With several copies, the nearest count.
Chain A
Amino acid sequence: MPEMTTGQAIKEALSLCLDSNDTTFIAGEDIGVYGGAFGVTDGLLEKYGHERIKDTPISEDVIAGLAVGAAITGSKPIVEMQFSDFIVNAMDPIVNQAAKLHFMYGGAVNVPMIVRGASGAGTGAAAQHSQSLESWFCHVPGLKVVTPSNPQNAFDLLLASFVDPNPVIFMEHKLIYKLKSEVNLGPMPSDSSELGKSKVIQEGNDITVVSYSNMVNSVISAAKEDSLTDYSIEIIDLLTLAPMDSESVINSVEKTKRLLVCQEAPASSSVGSTLISEVVTSRAFKALNQSPELLAGLHSPMPSAKHLETTVIPQEEDIVQKIKEMIENEQ
């Protein structure tokens, strides 16, 4: 299996999408000769030409609206928001159009499209270029929301999103682009059944730690820390946020009796709050031996300075400490 970065894995997936369907095009800002602000589409223009790899003016509303119009007329568009923060300019086509047309028109149309975007903080890009806005889209019926965390699942999930007949918001955390690993470049799947499935990264019995996107990587590192070696930690990567695989988390919590959810986004009206709510309103409530915990980004815009940025985002050591606290709490 070839070794590659997440950025490259996404590019491989995009290539496969373009190969598998003539009506597929990619549109976005600086995705052509520039290769994308994060280099993800680098080389695709040379391979597929201007008809398929379409640089747009800086106009996010029409980039997304274009995808909706193309999707309902038999095409399979993939569009890019250079930083996912700019999706604020494309909320009408995504929320009022893409998400609703299938339902609103009584099932008469499907809207198979992908909106990809670079999300998250950690590069000092400050408040307007560092947001994790995935929670908003989970709140919108009709959308699916996917957040890969490494090269392999980015590849697999992008393909699954591609064959899904619904609009998918695909959020790529900036810090995963350069993560490297071997990737099994499988074929185009026949259906999108991979969406909506979380993954157990590591089995354990003392606590269930759930996360998604780049924060999963912090959790994995944290669990390897010396001070935690005595504990048996179950780690779950949600992968798809809408629909959310709460059922697997509920099963896990029934086993471990403890739940910690970690995310970069602030807590209020977020994925993490939802998961905790879904767990405690389920049969797992009885299994919990203590209050679940949510380790989330501070309720603050993202500062630019590095030492402040790390204050806002939960760090590995915060996760270690929280896991210790929770397990030792009731032993």
Chain B
Amino acid sequence: MSKENKLELYRMMLLIRLFEEALEEMFSRGLLHGTMHLSIGQEATATGACLALEKKDLITSTHRGHGHCLAKGADPYKMFAELLGREDGYCRGRGGSMHIADLSNGNLGANGIVAGSLTISVGAALSLKMQKIENIVLCFFGDGAVNEGSFHEALNLASLWDLPVLFVCENNQYGMSMASENAVAGGSITQRAESYGIKSVSIDGNDVEEVYETVSKCKEKIKSSGKPMFIESVTYRYRGHSKSDRNLYRTSDEINFWKEEKDPLKRFIGKLTEEKVEIDELKKVEVEVKNLIRESVKKALESPESPKTNLEEDSYA
């Protein structure tokens, strides 16, 4: 991987981190209506996965989707605007945090329903196949989604029909308060995927390069074999599930362990420094990203509210 490439991975992880920290701050200042789900700590998976894709590859995302969205190329300004209910928002204030889609960059949309995008990704992959478009659909979902009926039906069909889907399970070890090990009978998410005849691999989801390399390889394999594949990307969420979470289901030791020992950004900065990337270069990226966030927030706050159009008409195409 070239240095530029690596700096791009760094830049994107940082962008996601700072984007969500900015959101947190806006929330605490009472600027945001509604809840939101932060992926702070999980940036490596979104970044590594999306940056390994081409623009025309598609993704489907989840309630915890800011990272996927940014990594697939979204404009942070339009995302902030969306969360603030502004006209320039991706959904003109109709979707909010859980429902940002960015079709121009191949993001078919976040989804508030756990496992809601799994069957959608299968349909999108069928479109690609029927239309002979040589791209793939990358479907993000959490460890909690693995126990929904939709997961089962989607994997079964994707495998039967040889559809170009890359299933990426972001196993952050909890579905809200439930530890994945208490929710997934049998204990292995990849073995479950294998039982549908889908090749599966489990990776360190906090190692952005490992994610990038694995997704790159899977993408090529899917294109050549025409068959779906499955990645379990093990990671960790630092923040509560959503804004109402008191974190009673886990220890602060556990959280701190991940923050200190396994943080994807820290680890990658360490690696880049080891590889003799100049501090200045990293600093330059940081300044650029901070500016981008600051400018985006400012512009979003100043942008006009989404007008009260005829919402009944807006409900139909």
Q: For residue A55, which residue of chain B has the nearest CB? A: B178
Report whether B311 and A303 are in contact in the complex, using a CB–CB cutoff of 8 Å: yes
Report whether A69 and B120 are in contact in the complex, using a CB–CB cutoff of 8 Å: yes
Q: A70-B124, A73-B108, A92-B150 are in contact. Are A142 and B33 (CB under 8 A)?
A: no
Closest-CB distance, B72 to chain A (whole angstroms): 14
4 A-B pairs with least C-beta separation = A65-B119, A69-B123, A305-B85, A124-B34
Closest-CB distance, B122 to chain A (whole angstroms): 5
**23 examples of A-B residue contacts, CB within 8 angstroms:** A30-B177, A55-B182, A58-B114, A58-B115, A58-B144, A58-B148, A61-B149, A61-B153, A62-B153, A64-B119, A66-B119, A70-B126, A73-B124, A73-B128, A85-B113, A103-B311, A106-B95, A124-B33, A124-B35, A125-B112, A127-B94, A300-B311, A301-B315
Q: For residue A302, which residue of chain B has the nearest CB? A: B94
* A123 contacts partner chain B, Cβ-Cβ < 8 Å: yes
A68 to B125, CA, bound (A): 11
Q: Cβ of A92: which chain B residues have Cβ within 8 Å of it?
A: 113, 116, 150
* B92 contacts partner chain A, Cβ-Cβ < 8 Å: yes
* B29 contacts partner chain A, Cβ-Cβ < 8 Å: no
CB under 8 Å from chain B, chain A span 93-123: 93, 96-97, 101-112, 123
Report whether A126 and B123 are in contact in the complex, using a CB–CB cutoff of 8 Å: no
CB under 8 Å from chain B, chain A span 67-81: 67-75, 77
| B101 contact from A59, A105, A125, A141, Cβ within 8 A | A105
Report whether B311 and A29 are in contact in the complex, using a CB–CB cutoff of 8 Å: no
User: Which residues of B approach A to under 8 Å, CB–CB?
Assistant: 32-35, 58, 60, 84-85, 89-103, 108-109, 111-116, 118-128, 130-131, 137, 144-145, 147-150, 152-154, 156-157, 160-161, 175-178, 182-184, 244-246, 248-249, 305-306, 308, 311-312, 314-317
Report whether B93 and A61 are in contact in the complex, using a CB–CB cutoff of 8 Å: no
Q: For residue A70, which residue of chain B has the nearest CB? A: B123
Q: How large is the interface on A (under 10, 10 to 19, 20 to 34, 35 or more residues)?
A: 35 or more
Q: Cβ of B84: which chain A residues have Cβ within 8 Å of it?
A: 305
Report whether A102 and B124 are in contact in the complex, using a CB–CB cutoff of 8 Å: no
Report whether B108 and A104 are in contact in the complex, using a CB–CB cutoff of 8 Å: no
Report whether B123 and A106 are in contact in the complex, using a CB–CB cutoff of 8 Å: no
| A89 contact from B108, B109, B149, B317, Cβ within 8 A | B149
Q: For residue B85, which residue of chain A has the nearest CB? A: A305
Closest-CB distance, A115 to chain B (whole angstroms): 13
Report whether A299 and B315 are in contact in the complex, using a CB–CB cutoff of 8 Å: yes
| A307 contact from B35, B175, B182, B305, Cβ within 8 A | B305
Report whether B116 and A96 are in contact in the complex, using a CB–CB cutoff of 8 Å: yes
A309 to B114, CA, bound (A): 23
Stretch at the interface among A31-39, A281-289, A321-329: A31-39
Q: Cβ of B150: which chain A residues have Cβ within 8 Å of it?
A: 61-62, 65, 89, 92
Report whether B316 and A69 are in contact in the complex, using a CB–CB cutoff of 8 Å: no
Q: A92-B113, A304-B94 are in contact. Are A123 and B175 (CB under 8 A)?
A: no
Q: Cβ of B314: which chain A residues have Cβ within 8 Å of it?
A: 103, 107, 300
Q: A103-B314, A126-B112, A308-B306 are in contact. Are A57 and B178 (CB under 8 A)?
A: yes
Report whether A308 and B311 are in contact in the complex, using a CB–CB cutoff of 8 Å: yes
CB under 8 Å from chain B, chain A span 21-47: 22-23, 25, 29-30, 32-35, 37-39
A126 to B101, CA, bound (A): 14
Report whether A29 and B120 are in contact in the complex, using a CB–CB cutoff of 8 Å: no
Q: Cβ of B184: which chain A residues have Cβ within 8 Å of it?
A: 57
Q: For residue A71, which residue of chain B has the nearest CB? A: B123
| A109 contact from B94, B101, B116, B312, Cβ within 8 A | B101
